[in-house]
Amino acid sequence: MVKLRLKRTGKKFHATYKIVASDARSPRDGRFIEELGHYDPHAKALHLNKELVTKYLNEGAKPTDTVRTLLKQDNFYADYVASKK
């Protein structure tokens, strides 16, 4: 099963995160299939490759709770769900 999750990067006390598609059995900072974007919580900056995120969601990937929240803040998830109806 593929999950959309965060991979921690950055320095100590200044974490940044990559949004990645990974196998559910992989560790948090382990192997991943593809990078979909990145998130900097200090600058509140979210950058997504929306085509890739849509591709993985259409293939049945499940976002983690945190990634789903980030997608909702970007109004991407609501638009995606509305387009599926």
Task: Identify the residue whose tokens are 């006390």.
Answer: 13
d(CA 42, CA 65): 19
Query: pTM for the complete prediction?
Result: 0.84
- Confidence at residue 77, expressed as pLDDT on a 0 to 100 scale: 73
Q: How confident is the model at residue 83 (pLDDT cuts 50, 70, 90)?
A: confident
For residue 32, how many other CB atoms are within 10 A of its CB?
Answer: 19
Amino acid at 15: A
**CA contacts within 13 A on the Cβ side of 69:** 6
- Confidence at residue 54, expressed as pLDDT on a 0 to 100 scale: 92
Whether the predicted pLDDT of 20 surpasses 90: yes
CATH code of the domain covering residue 36:
3.30.1320.10
The pair of three-digit structure tokens given for residue 53, joined into one six-digit string: 């995120």
- Domains identified in the chain, total number: 1
- Confidence at residue 80, expressed as pLDDT on a 0 to 100 scale: 72
- Do 14 and 76 contact (CB within 8 A), yes or no? no
Query: Residue 46: which domain range?
Result: 2-84
pLDDT, one tens digit per residue, over 42-82 is: 999 999 999 999 999 999 999 999 999 999 988 877 777 77
